[in-house]
Amino acid sequence: MNLVEKIISKHIVDDTGEQEIGIKIDQTLTQDATGTMAYLEFEAIGRKTIATELSVSYIDHNTIQDGFENADDHRYLQSIAMKYGLYFSKAGNGICHQVHLETFGKPGKTLLGSDSHTPTGGGIGMIAIGAGGLDIATALAGGAFYVPRPKVLKVELTGTLSPFVTAKDLILKLLQILTTKGNVGYIVEYTGSGVKTLSVPERATITNMGAELGVTTSIFPSDEITKEFLRAQGREQDWVELIADKDAVYDKELVINLSSLKPMIALPHSPDNVKEVSEVAGMKVDQALIGSCTNSSYKDLYTVATLLKGKQVSTEVSFGVAPGSKQVFEMMIENGLMKNIVEAGGRVLESSCGFCIGMGQSPATDAVSIRTNNRNFYGRSGTNSAGIYLVSPETAVACALTGKITDPSEFFKETVNYKQPSKFLVNNSLVVNPLPEKQRNSVEILKGPNIGPPPISKELAESITVKAVVKVGDKITTDHIMPAGRFLKFRSNIDKYSQAVFNDVEPKFADKCKANKSEGYDNLIITGLSYGQGSSREHAAICPMYLGVKVVVVKSIERIHRANLINFGIIPLVFKQESDYDKLNVEEVFSFNNIREQIKKDIVVMESSTGSKYELLAGFSDREIEQILAGGKLNLLKE
């Protein structure tokens, strides 16, 4: 058996479907941008306590607390944790994925998170998967989580990384090879002699950004390196050895020689638009930011601070560093390394997601921003005209010092000799432990005026007529559908947040949807390849549903967004002939006759008001059909 099969086989609770399997979830995590709705959904289900082994509610996205809305969400989330038996990680404790790796993650366990970068946990041998909030609520209530029956891609690593070539460069290279499209349903499993040369933070960087490939998750073995990391965190008892059998079989295989890699850079506006740094060297840089759940570990910041010692950041560059967790922050202060960053001209930012999701540090008009985070989608930084370039911390430091894109292997003369501490500084003062069960009944759940109930869709009618509201191209992300940044604080207010759907693509989307509904039409979205890539935010399904979107027709669609659409009663259908995409127009009216029966078949027929007919692929499981017919998963869970 390969490693994926070994862990999955111990967690299968439903193996009856052809397309998918249901697995038991051991742990969950949420963050505040998605968590509020997830727990509102959990409340709606009506269970009295959580059924998971361990669940954590993190505050790491809206920590700027702009207005009362953010603070009200955080108060609600803490009261929910106290009421139902979750751990609560307060603002300032750090980014959920970094903290979970340090404090809670266990090899061999399944982890479901309401954040697409939950696969970070694969760095210590977990099956860690991102999902929408309603799927988290289901897992909290003891329900199975359904994933496409996994195919496993073996990535065999050989050789060793050269000086100033990093784990970030490896995952960027893999994105260059595989792209962000066409990998749905796969799990990436890393093997080979090169694995032994990578520390846990390096492995976590790779599994974290594996989310950009569109795979279900990524995983490394749990070996002696994993054991040493957990021992240094005071958690050696959580370690188990997990490795693939020597004769394990895989669906696909790829070999990457670490010794052949160069420093890499992802150009705007996609993580797979990758080149070697040397190919674009010399371009003026306006901003350099280090942090996010991809590259904010103690190893990363130790390296950054060491490279900055005695040097000065270019006066033309705005430079900031965000430690990934309170642990990293404290250790950088304790050993004096934070001083190097400050003396070099760096701004120390809060241990939060921050700039990665457009919460602060928006670059100037037309700026070139060098960042160590995982996504560079158009407009995600908060400045539509800016270009976001994704690099390793080493490359970011070289760019900050020179004021231009610079290959660190050509710039730095001396390497950094990092050695993992024998003992990390463990201080969980910002983690609130679950209350004893007998004390939970007296806890009052606190909801501010911005927090509303999750909307419920009606069951699917026998036939529906839809009007096309928007037609968009390939690689439309959930950031395009539901922008974050200044809108993030309205995540728990669907009526308000729904006004921002497709804000940067079709600003009148919400008004058009309402006009169509007043004319008696449901709404249709037409889109191209890899629709819904990026964030797990279920609001990219909830808000369109709230506006009356009933059908999305795509060339192809990403796993999490497809699941979220079905969860909220929206029907995702795939063009049988991709060329039909070119024939459909905005404002065109289409009908689906006898749709309740049609979705049970492989092909659904959509008929235009002009008489043209289009065949669309359905391919829904029995479970998905039941959800669509009911108008969404929450209707069934409440029953």
- The closest of 7, 51, 223, 261 to 124, measured between CA atoms, is 223
Quote the CA–CA distance of 617 and 168 in Å, as a whole number: 37
- The correct CATH number of 266-411 out of 3.30.2090.10, 3.40.50.740, 3.40.50.2000, 3.30.499.10 is 3.30.499.10
Retrieve residue 305's tokens. 């601070």
Quote the CA–CA distance of 362 and 380 in Å, as a whole number: 9
386 pLDDT more than 90: yes
Segments making up each domain of the chain, as ranges: 3-260, 266-411, 464-632
3-state helix/strand/coil string of 314-373: CCCCEEEECCCEHHHHHHHHHCCHHHHHHHCCCEECCCCCHHHHCCCCCCCCCCEEEECC
**pLDDT tens per residue, range 374-383:** 999 888 888 9
pLDDT of residue 489: 86
Chain length of the chain: 639
16 pLDDT more than 90: no
pLDDT of residue 486: 81
411 pLDDT more than 90: yes
- pLDDT mean across residues, the chain: 95
pLDDT cut 90: percent of the chain above it: 90
Q: What is the mean pLDDT of residues 403-427?
A: 95
638 pLDDT more than 80: no
Residue holding tokens 């922050």?
329
pTM assigned to the model: 0.94
639 pLDDT more than 80: no
**pLDDT tens per residue, range 449-496:** 999 988 888 999 999 999 999 999 999 999 999 988 888 888 889 999
**pLDDT tens per residue, range 567-583:** 999 999 999 999 999 99
CATH class assigned to 3-260: alpha beta
Strands (E), 515-612: 522-526, 549-554, 571-575, 589-592, 603-608
What single letter denotes the amino acid at residue 454? P
Q: What is the mean pLDDT of residues 238-242?
A: 98
Q: What is the mean pLDDT of residues 249-276?
A: 97
Considering all CA atoms of the chain, what is the largest pairwise distance in Å, rounded to the nearest integer? Answer: 73
Same fold, 3-260 and 464-632: no
- The correct CATH number of 464-632 out of 3.20.19.10, 3.20.20.70, 1.10.10.10, 3.50.50.60 is 3.20.19.10
pLDDT of residue 466: 97
Higher pLDDT, 359 or 43: 43
**pLDDT tens per residue, range 316-340:** 999 999 999 999 999 999 999 999 9
301 pLDDT more than 80: yes
**pLDDT tens per residue, range 148-184:** 999 999 999 999 999 999 999 999 999 999 999 889 9
**Contact at 8 Å (CB) between 189 and 6?**
no
pLDDT of residue 485: 80
How confident is residue 201, by pLDDT bands cut at 50, 70 and 90? very high
